A and B are shown apart, each in its own frame.
Chain A
């Protein structure tokens, strides 16, 4: 037995910039994304979609498609063996349209053929006769006008959530504003894809890019008329998600085709189809009235937020909950009357996207805070400091913030960061860049601030948990750990983190992450910035259970009391190393599975919105510096500085990447990203016309990351992916306002909003 006294902390544990286990495969091109999957003899699926946002289907004639050589199946709703409807929150969406369509792009039929082009041509040969109806596209009428026609029989309001606090709605200073947020797309780069393989037991194995395997399984199995255990899912490589993979896309279709043909079927969407194939960020119409004392202290907020959910419910109810509960922002407001609505229309369906209801509201309340600052003659940072919540404050739902909320110091910190140098003389740094549209004339600089509050994890009483199975054994004379969860790695780096946690908790450097699948319990969704918290918590808890058993085994085998695990060694009370983990294990294998839940949350009161709906809050502050060509309406963001409190840094490099990426998506919403919808029709379903930030659009980003631990969370961590997406948008718009003096009530800001032409 070894007898060395040194125990060093394990390498690449919690807190280190550990390398991604999937990194090498990703830089060499060998990582298997869902769209890379391939099997001998597999068929290719394609989807026929409605060209109309609202129509009755009078007839569908499949004859031409079925006759095309190479076509092996053409299926409609009549071929769906089980439930005809599905949905992530409630089942209101047909697997394939039944007698009517409610949005442009709604799937009507699916085809399997020997070549993707054959499948597409077969779709084109299906004859559908429509009776085209006037689409219902006015979300305000859908919310407030009971005489408006109905998209679904049950009415157009998916959820209305009021917030009612206090009764004083008068103040010395009153500022009002009507704001609008356009429809943003998640625009992940890896298109919706998956491979369904029929199994001998009559079931199906699906390899798919998704955010939550088990909720997919729960929706797919009933539609196939199969018990869940016969629908087995394995996560294929995911090329980004950002909420767009919370709802099903091709999953049921591929399984139907595979079961029907008895052959593997792969479906890979193209970019244009992807714009129709997933839900988007809810566009919002918002009215705010803020009342305050002359010195800028909020007395009341009145607000109305209307979120257009489009044709199907998707996650609209939860988005409304966020918009309402976080609708006044991270501010102490004694009197609130706010109504958030999520509605059905014949516009494209909207659901989850990074920030989830909190993003839209943040643009509204932060714009209002700037108006208030101006009305009171205060600095924008000062007015925020005067109203910011802190630990112990109540948010709009009456919930007490029982974790650090150092907003005042975050605001001061971001304000006090050095500012970038003045307007550059390098053409490439100016608005318009190499387009050579200015040499500096007409350029005005502006600075703006934004701050946001985001709930982390699922809220409003949802049973939000994750499961981890951890196995410790000796492989090749060394202790090795296998971590198995169903949690979706979508790019965020959860695979790295799970291994870091296992190394830290067990002191074993050699950790393998098993592929995510439905052979282990649910991990919940890779959304709401929750996986580090919940799956991280599950891995930690399972490791603790494994450690306990290891020490029992050590006590038994070594006949020694008071043993502990330290630096990967079994040590005595006095810290003397008595054995290695491998020596204790020998041929024994320790495996433990644990579920982890965060503290329970409660529903919001239906009439007042009061209740402890959230388990954790996270905050980010941005300062934006922009140069605006006021003659052409072009904006160049010069710098984005952020201060974010993450509780505990688990992996610095991955964390910075999350804040950078979230900030970039906020910049996109501020300045360029919008799915343009007219009469229910998407006008720009391509990356030529739907612009996401390029490397030329992104400025240098300065980050200050704070670690004020949340005592309720594993390691004190706070979810980090979403908060920067909230605050960068209003900061940039505020900076453009400061440069131009324009009110800019709508995002994304377009050149004509700046030039007034």
Chain B
């Protein structure tokens, strides 16, 4: 089948998509956007988190056909110029080790700060509860989100 949707601001038409493919597969294998990750492909880890029409979703749980006519924003499209404050904060706080969880966490944290500019720790934990990280124990990820929030509100 053919799927047409907007990815990171530009319209994409993808042909020969098998009906069983997920949005994650299409992004990674057909659109040249492997930034969204494939840690489980079962909706359990959040590594594939992208914005779909402005809401964060697990791209592995969205059938490719469901993206028809809709707008997707991935980690690759978070910032047009340089790094987004959330990306910068993940670097500065040491929240990146292997980095496989990072794109999903960054999109999820980005969404949190869009909604709640100055979240409490409990709100950060709740917002990121669906994103697994095996390397960091999450302490530096909390630091990163706090840092990003502080920098965004200081701007």
* Interchain CA distance A698-B142 in the complex, whole Å: 11
Contact, CB under 8 Å: B137 / A23: no
Contact of B87 among A28, A268, A490, A701 (CB under 8 A): A28
B5 located at the interface, meaning its Cβ lies under 8 Å from any Cβ of chain A in the complex: no
Question: Nearest chain-B residue to A187 (Cβ)?
Answer: B134
Question: Nearest chain-A residue to B123 (Cβ)?
Answer: A428
Contact, CB under 8 Å: B91 / A19: yes
Which residues of chain B have C-beta atoms less than 8 A from A27's C-beta? 75, 83, 87-88, 90-91, 96, 99, 102-103, 106
Which residues of chain A have C-beta atoms less than 8 A from B83's C-beta? 24, 27-28
* Known A191-B38, A239-B100, A492-B97; contact A29-B75, beta-carbon cutoff 8 A: yes
Which residues of chain A have C-beta atoms less than 8 A from B38's C-beta? 35, 191, 268
Which residues of chain B have C-beta atoms less than 8 A from A186's C-beta? 134
Contact, CB under 8 Å: A490 / B98: yes
Contact of A491 among B29, B98, B106, B131 (CB under 8 A): B98
Which residues of chain B have C-beta atoms less than 8 A from A700's C-beta? 139
Those of B31-86 within 8 Å (CB) of chain A: 32-42, 44-45, 47, 74-76, 83
Interface centre among B40, B97, B102 (most CB of A within 10 A): B97
Contact, CB under 8 Å: B41 / A271: yes
* Known A29-B34, A271-B40, A688-B42; contact A491-B140, beta-carbon cutoff 8 A: no
Contact, CB under 8 Å: A26 / B99: yes
* Known A30-B76, A426-B122, A687-B44; contact A238-B98, beta-carbon cutoff 8 A: yes
Question: Nearest chain-B residue to A242 (Cβ)?
Answer: B134
Contact of A117 among B18, B36, B125, B132 (CB under 8 A): B18
Is the interface on chain B under 10, 10 to 19, 20 to 34, or 35 or more residues?
35 or more
B1 to chain A, nearest CB (A): 14
Contact of B76 among A19, A29, A701 (CB under 8 A): A29
Question: Nearest chain-A residue to B122 (Cβ)?
Answer: A428
A493 located at the interface, meaning its Cβ lies under 8 Å from any Cβ of chain B in the complex: yes
* Interchain CA distance A240-B42 in the complex, whole Å: 19
Contact of A653 among B124, B130, B132, B140 (CB under 8 A): B140
Contact, CB under 8 Å: A661 / B136: yes
* Interchain CA distance A191-B48 in the complex, whole Å: 13
* Known A30-B76, A491-B97; contact A36-B34, beta-carbon cutoff 8 A: yes
B7 located at the interface, meaning its Cβ lies under 8 Å from any Cβ of chain A in the complex: no
Question: Nearest chain-A residue to B97 (Cβ)?
Answer: A491
Question: Nearest chain-A residue to B141 (Cβ)?
Answer: A695
B15 located at the interface, meaning its Cβ lies under 8 Å from any Cβ of chain A in the complex: no
Contact, CB under 8 Å: B138 / A687: no
A17 located at the interface, meaning its Cβ lies under 8 Å from any Cβ of chain B in the complex: yes
* Known A240-B98, A240-B100, A491-B99; contact A271-B44, beta-carbon cutoff 8 A: yes
Which residues of chain A have C-beta atoms less than 8 A from B149's C-beta? none
Contact code string A9-48 (vs B, CB < 8 Å = 1, else 0): 0000000010110111011111111011010000000000
A295 located at the interface, meaning its Cβ lies under 8 Å from any Cβ of chain B in the complex: no
A715 located at the interface, meaning its Cβ lies under 8 Å from any Cβ of chain B in the complex: no
Question: Nearest chain-B residue to A20 (Cβ)?
Answer: B96
Contact, CB under 8 Å: A663 / B129: no
* Interchain CA distance A363-B64 in the complex, whole Å: 47
Which residues of chain B have C-beta atoms less than 8 A from A696's C-beta? 125-126, 129
Question: Nearest chain-B residue to A25 (Cβ)?
Answer: B99
Contact code string A659-675 (vs B, CB < 8 Å = 1, else 0): 01111110000000000
B101 located at the interface, meaning its Cβ lies under 8 Å from any Cβ of chain A in the complex: yes
* Interchain CA distance A190-B97 in the complex, whole Å: 12
Contact code string A621-658 (vs B, CB < 8 Å = 1, else 0): 00000000000000000000000000000000110110
Interface centre among A28, A428, A656, A664 (most CB of B within 10 A): A28
Contact of B99 among A22, A241, A242 (CB under 8 A): A22
Which residues of chain A have C-beta atoms less than 8 A from B39's C-beta? 189-191, 239, 271
Contact code string A406-439 (vs B, CB < 8 Å = 1, else 0): 0000000000000000000010110000100000
Contact of A664 among B34, B94, B137 (CB under 8 A): B137
B11 to chain A, nearest CB (A): 20
B58 to chain A, nearest CB (A): 12
Contact, CB under 8 Å: A26 / B128: no
* Interchain CA distance A240-B102 in the complex, whole Å: 12
Contact of A698 among B45, B100, B122, B138 (CB under 8 A): B138
* Known A24-B91, A117-B20; contact A240-B103, beta-carbon cutoff 8 A: no
* Interchain CA distance A549-B84 in the complex, whole Å: 44
Interface centre among B29, B32, B98 (most CB of A within 10 A): B98
Which residues of chain B have C-beta atoms less than 8 A from A130's C-beta? none
A230 located at the interface, meaning its Cβ lies under 8 Å from any Cβ of chain B in the complex: no
Question: Nearest chain-B residue to A640 (Cβ)?
Answer: B137
Those of B113-155 within 8 Å (CB) of chain A: 122, 124-126, 128-142
Question: Nearest chain-B residue to A427 (Cβ)?
Answer: B122
A513 to chain B, nearest CB (A): 15
Contact of A657 among B32, B122, B135 (CB under 8 A): B135
Which residues of chain A have C-beta atoms less than 8 A from B142's C-beta? 695
- Chain B: interface secondary structure? loop
* Known A20-B91, A657-B136; contact A687-B97, beta-carbon cutoff 8 A: no
Contact, CB under 8 Å: B134 / A188: yes
A176 located at the interface, meaning its Cβ lies under 8 Å from any Cβ of chain B in the complex: no
Contact, CB under 8 Å: A657 / B97: yes
Contact of A190 among B18, B98, B128, B141 (CB under 8 A): B98
Contact, CB under 8 Å: B91 / A695: no
Contact, CB under 8 Å: A189 / B28: no
Which residues of chain A have C-beta atoms less than 8 A from B93's C-beta? 653
B32 to chain A, nearest CB (A): 8
Contact, CB under 8 Å: A660 / B35: no
* Known A189-B39, A190-B39; contact A656-B140, beta-carbon cutoff 8 A: yes
Interface centre among B29, B91, B93, B136 (most CB of A within 10 A): B136
Contact of B97 among A17, A237, A661 (CB under 8 A): A661
Contact code string A680-692 (vs B, CB < 8 Å = 1, else 0): 0000001110001
* Interchain CA distance A544-B137 in the complex, whole Å: 36
Question: Nearest chain-B residue to A241 (Cβ)?
Answer: B98
A270 located at the interface, meaning its Cβ lies under 8 Å from any Cβ of chain B in the complex: yes
Which residues of chain B have C-beta atoms less than 8 A from A664's C-beta? 136-138
Contact, CB under 8 Å: A695 / B99: no
Contact of B135 among A240, A656, A695 (CB under 8 A): A240
B134 to chain A, nearest CB (A): 5
Which residues of chain A have C-beta atoms less than 8 A from B96's C-beta? 20, 23, 26-27
* Known A38-B29, A491-B99, A700-B139; contact A657-B94, beta-carbon cutoff 8 A: yes
A694 located at the interface, meaning its Cβ lies under 8 Å from any Cβ of chain B in the complex: yes
Which residues of chain B have C-beta atoms less than 8 A from A687's C-beta? 40, 42, 44-45, 132
Contact, CB under 8 Å: B140 / A33: no
* Known A271-B41, A687-B40, A695-B125; contact A189-B91, beta-carbon cutoff 8 A: no
Contact, CB under 8 Å: B100 / A660: no
Contact, CB under 8 Å: A654 / B35: no
Which residues of chain B have C-beta atoms less than 8 A from A426's C-beta? 122
* Known A189-B45, A492-B97, A687-B42; contact A30-B136, beta-carbon cutoff 8 A: no
Contact, CB under 8 Å: B134 / A692: yes
B53 to chain A, nearest CB (A): 20
A294 located at the interface, meaning its Cβ lies under 8 Å from any Cβ of chain B in the complex: no
B4 to chain A, nearest CB (A): 21
A56 located at the interface, meaning its Cβ lies under 8 Å from any Cβ of chain B in the complex: no
Contact, CB under 8 Å: B98 / A239: yes
Which residues of chain A have C-beta atoms less than 8 A from B35's C-beta? 28-30
* Interchain CA distance A188-B37 in the complex, whole Å: 13
A240 to chain B, nearest CB (A): 4
9 A/B residue pairs, CB under 8 Å, sorted by A: A32-B34, A33-B37, A189-B133, A238-B98, A239-B39, A428-B125, A695-B125, A695-B131, A698-B137
Sorted nearest first, the 10 A-B pairs with minimum C-beta distance are A29-B35, A491-B98, A239-B100, A26-B99, A660-B137, A664-B137, A687-B44, A653-B94, A36-B34, A491-B97
Sample of 16 further A-B pairs with CB below 8 A, known A27-B75, A28-B76, A694-B130:
A27-B83, A29-B74, A30-B35, A30-B76, A188-B134, A189-B100, A240-B97, A490-B98, A491-B135, A656-B139, A657-B97, A657-B136, A661-B137, A686-B40, A696-B126, A701-B137
